[in-house]
Amino acid sequence: MQLSQTEEKLMHFLWKRNRAYMKDLISDFPPPKPAKTTVATLLKRMVEKGFVGYDQSGNAREYYPLVKKKEYSSNRVNGLIKSFFNNSAAQLASFCTTENNLSTSELEALKKIIDEQIEKRKK
């Protein structure tokens, strides 16, 4: 299951804070701030989808992520690779390096990461 773009933005705020009340999450949005009811609806959907949990204290709910950012990111990238790049990470890498006008230093950094992974797999 996937988050909508707005839910994902809210999830990033929650990952950054680790635990937060709705007022804290609203304050993380840039102006114009969303309505409290909008954020409440987003959080309700995210709870129903299994991305967010909460602890109830009186009328207040303290929200926390149930899914790790790395796990969610991995699923999103793998879905992107499957949907747009014929399930080929090499095609994704080719697209990223040829279509995004990367600087020489960015390309060198990518090459270093790839070289390190090749060395790890050889061991």
What digits encode the pLDDT tens for the residues 48-59?
A: 999 999 999 999
pLDDT at 106: 92
Give the up-direction half-sphere exposure of residue 28: CA atoms within 13 A in the CB hemisphere: 17
Please list the residues that pair with 52 across neighbouring strands. Answer: 65
Tokens of 59: 């009328």
Q: Are 13 and 65 in contact (CB under 8 A)?
A: no
- Residues 11 and 60 placed together within one structural domain of the fold: yes
Host domain of residue 111 = 86-123
- Is-above-0.95 flag for pTM? no
- Residues 44 and 12 placed together within one structural domain of the fold: yes
Terminal-to-terminal C-alpha distance of the chain? 36
Tell me the residue length of the chain: 123
- Residues 9 and 49 placed together within one structural domain of the fold: yes
In a domain, 79, yes or no: no
Number of domains in the chain: 2
- Residues 10 and 53 placed together within one structural domain of the fold: yes
In a domain, 70, yes or no: no
Q: What is the CATH number of the domain that holds 54?
A: 1.10.10.10
- Residues 58 and 94 placed together within one structural domain of the fold: no
- Residues 91 and 42 placed together within one structural domain of the fold: no
pLDDT at 102: 87
Residue 1 has pLDDT above 80, yes or no: no
Residue 69 has pLDDT above 80, yes or no: yes
In a domain, 117, yes or no: yes
The answer, yes or no, to whether the previous bond of 31 is cis (omega within 30 of 0) is no
pLDDT at 105: 93
Kindly give, in sequence order, each residue whose CB lies less than 8 Å from that of residue 47, ignoring residues fewer than 6 positions away. 53, 54
